[in-house]
């Protein structure tokens, strides 16, 4: 029997995990990534990874929290897979050498983040979780016999008879074709659509654009998550949600803690709620940033400074490099584009609507996140569904693909591939900065029909950049994805989750599950100080 060849595109947690599991299943694996192997959204993840790793937490609670955050549009089957298989993937990461933070007696240090009913978030290196995971997975991959191609930009998916049979890449200025029995897209999101983003420069939507051009089904592209707290001093730098989990609060320019007026969970409300509240507060103070106040985390400024440096070393260094002393004074923050909940539609094993094409991680729409991703579920999704996609891709040549992939009713708004790439009365190619500002203003934290229609007209009236180099190809990809995001946002006329329409009432769609505050789970209400200080036995 011929050994199947699997090409994995992307080197974040989803891609590295998919490559490992495909190789373990007996496939010959080629992993391609457009920058260095270590450069991905995963590398910059601060907050941590959520998983049921303690004996007083329950999979059912993690499922409920995820569905609640998703505003009723999450797929329960996908969420159950995420929560139930998460612990095994965490143990796999530990086996790969990922050193999660532990207490003196060896138990995992656990953190509480927004919309979680239990402090189940694990960290590594304080606030360097993504970088530690990335390093561990790269070290493991180098022992797997996987061919690695760096500096390779995905330009097209190759199809033959309706099946994906490989990829076209731009490597060192030349086009290169790689044939494969199966392709796994793990190219991440499209944060570079926006003028303000936490994403690195590589997040230009290449996988989604290639999938659209190939005719793959996409969904939920209107659901763009904006992280509430990004430093508004110097270059954008994410300030982890774990800060608010530790007790930091948001204040307006007058010093008022405004989140207590907005939501019963205050700063630990779902991200879309917090981001919109910040936008509202900023509008009331002439656009000035709001303030994140961590000065009260410990009894004295000196003790607070020591705690911040130990618990959040990466953020602490970034804050102090900007001349700010956040142990003594609040720091300015603003929302920024952070995560795309939608993407290429997949089943629970990463299969897309194109036979031979798989997707995992942020590029995929598994249904896990619904309308709003629960904090620290992104790394978990990459690990859980990356493993599933890798195993399925390794057996793809011998398996009959499904003829079509159903999309959950009410959750499939996206532009068809033909519409996503059309150009009406082309003018000059659209500059990236112009596109980013248009998307920020018209398809950002808040949207309405007039703004979205304006964005659609502008985007449809601009030509694709000539594919003269990698940057121009990225710009063309951003234009394709921007059109699809705007079309999806126009099609969904109600407000739900991260998709907030100023011109529409909130959706009546709500999850049919009991709402629980972040300080309560199946074991009952508990004091936040106890949550931070108590340690529990890990689940075996």
Q: Encoding tokens for residue 390? A: 């890798």
Q: What ranges in 461-506 are assigned the alpha helix state H?
A: 470-491
Question: What distance separates the 2 farthest-apart alpha carbons in the chain?
Answer: 71
φ/ψ (deg, to 5) at 158: -90, 130
Q: Which of 494, 489, 404 is nearest to 219 (CA)?
A: 489
64 catalytic residue (yes or no):
no
Q: Which of 442, 518, 459 is nearest to 224 (CA)?
A: 442
Are 48 and 167 in contact, with CB atoms under 8 Å apart? no
- Gap between the Cα atoms of 210 and 187, Å rounded: 10
- Gap between the Cα atoms of 50 and 128, Å rounded: 15
Strand 224-231's sheet: what is its strand order?
A: 224-231, 331-340, 290-293, 249-251
User: For residue 2, what is the DSSP state?
Assistant: P
How many Cβ atoms from other residues are within 10 Å of residue 296's Cβ? 10
- Say which residues have a Cβ less than 8 Å from residue 153's Cβ, sequence separation at least 6: 34, 169, 170, 171, 206, 470, 473, 474
- Gap between the Cα atoms of 262 and 277, Å rounded: 7
Catalytic residue among 120, 244, 271, 432: 271
φ/ψ (deg, to 5) at 165: -125, 15
- Gap between the Cα atoms of 380 and 382, Å rounded: 5
Strand 343-345's sheet: what is its strand order?
A: 218-219, 343-345, 364-365
Measure Cα distances from 261 to 221, 269, 277, 285, 525 in Å: 30, 12, 10, 17, 22
Task: Say if strands 331-340 and 290-293 run parallel, antiparallel, or are unpaired.
Answer: antiparallel
- Gap between the Cα atoms of 71 and 404, Å rounded: 26
Are 358 and 351 in contact, with CB atoms under 8 Å apart? yes
Q: Encoding tokens for residue 468? A: 């003269």
Q: How many Å is the Cα radius of gyration of the chain?
A: 22
- Say which residues have a Cβ less than 8 Å from residue 88's Cβ, sequence separation at least 6: none
DSSP per-residue letters across 352-418: -SSTTEEE-GGGEE-SSSTTSPPTT-HHHHHHHHHHHHHHHHHTGGGSPPPS-----TT------HH
- Gap between the Cα atoms of 31 and 10, Å rounded: 7
- Known catalytic residues are 271
């Amino acid at each position: 029997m011929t050994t199947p060849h699997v090409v994995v595109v992307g080197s974040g947690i989803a891609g590295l995990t998919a490559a490992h599991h495909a190789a373990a299943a007996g496939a010959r694996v080629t992993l391609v990534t457009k920058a260095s192997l270590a450069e991905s959204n995963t590398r910059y993840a601060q907050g941590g990874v959520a998983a049921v790793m303690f004996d007083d937490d329950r999979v059912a609670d993690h499922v409920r929290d995820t569905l609640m955050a998703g505003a009723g549009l999450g797929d329960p089957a996908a969420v159950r897979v995420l929560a139930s298989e998460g612990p095994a993937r965490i143990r796999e990461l530990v086996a790969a050498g990922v050193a999660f933070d532990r207490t003196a007696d060896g138990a995992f240090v656990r953190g509480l983040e927004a919309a979680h009913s239990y402090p189940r978030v694990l960290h590594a290196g304080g606030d360097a979780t993504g970088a530690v995971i990335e390093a561990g997975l790269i070290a493991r991959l180098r022992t797997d016999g996987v061919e690695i191609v760096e500096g390779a930009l995905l330009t097209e998916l190759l199809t033959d008879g309706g099946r994906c049979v490989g990829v076209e890449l731009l490597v060192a200025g030349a086009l290169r074709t790689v044939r494969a029995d199966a392709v796994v897209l793990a190219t991440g999101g499209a944060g570079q659509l926006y003028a303000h983003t936490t994403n690195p420069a590589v997040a230009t939507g290449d996988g989604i654009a290639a999938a659209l051009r190939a005719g793959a089904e996409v969904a939920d592209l209107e659901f763009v998550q904006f992280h509430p707290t990004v430093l508004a001093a110097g270059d954008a730098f994410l300030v982890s949600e774990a800060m608010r989990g530790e007790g930091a609060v948001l204040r307006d320019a007058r010093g008022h803690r405004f989140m207590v007026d907005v939501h019963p969970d205050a700063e630990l409300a779902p991200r879309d709620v917090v981001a919109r509240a910040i936008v509202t507060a900023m509008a009331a103070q002439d656009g000035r940033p709001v303030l994140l106040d961590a000065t009260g985390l410990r009894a004295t400024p000196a003790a607070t400074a020591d705690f911040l440096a130990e618990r959040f070393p990466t953020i602490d260094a970034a804050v102090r490099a900007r001349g700010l002393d956040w142990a003594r004074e609040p720091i300015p923050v603003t929302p920024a584009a952070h995560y795309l909940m939608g993407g290429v539609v997949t089943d629970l094993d990463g299969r897309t609507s194109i036979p031979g094409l798989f997707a995992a991680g942020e590029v995929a729409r598994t249904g896990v996140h619904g309308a709003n991703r629960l904090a620290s579920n992104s790394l978990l999704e990459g690990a859980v569904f990356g493993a599933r996609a890798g195993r399925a891709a390794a057996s793809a040549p011998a398996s009959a693909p499904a003829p079509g992939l159903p999309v959950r009713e009410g959750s499939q708004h996206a532009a068809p591939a033909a519409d996503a790439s059309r150009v009406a009365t082309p003018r000059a190619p659209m500059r990236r900065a112009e596109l980013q500002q248009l998307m920020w203003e018209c398809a950002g934290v808040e949207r309405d029909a007039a703004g979205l229609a304006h964005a659609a007209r502008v985007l449809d009236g601009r030509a694709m950049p000539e594919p003269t180099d990698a940057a121009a190809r990225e710009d063309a990809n951003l234009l394709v994805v921007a059109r699809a995001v705007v079309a999806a946002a126009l099609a969904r006329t109600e407000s739900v989750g991260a998709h907030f329409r100023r011109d529409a009432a909130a959706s009546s769609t709500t999850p049919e599950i009991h709402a629980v505050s972040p300080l309560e789970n199946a074991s009952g209400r508990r004091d936040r100080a106890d949550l931070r200080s108590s340690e529990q036995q890990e689940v075996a």
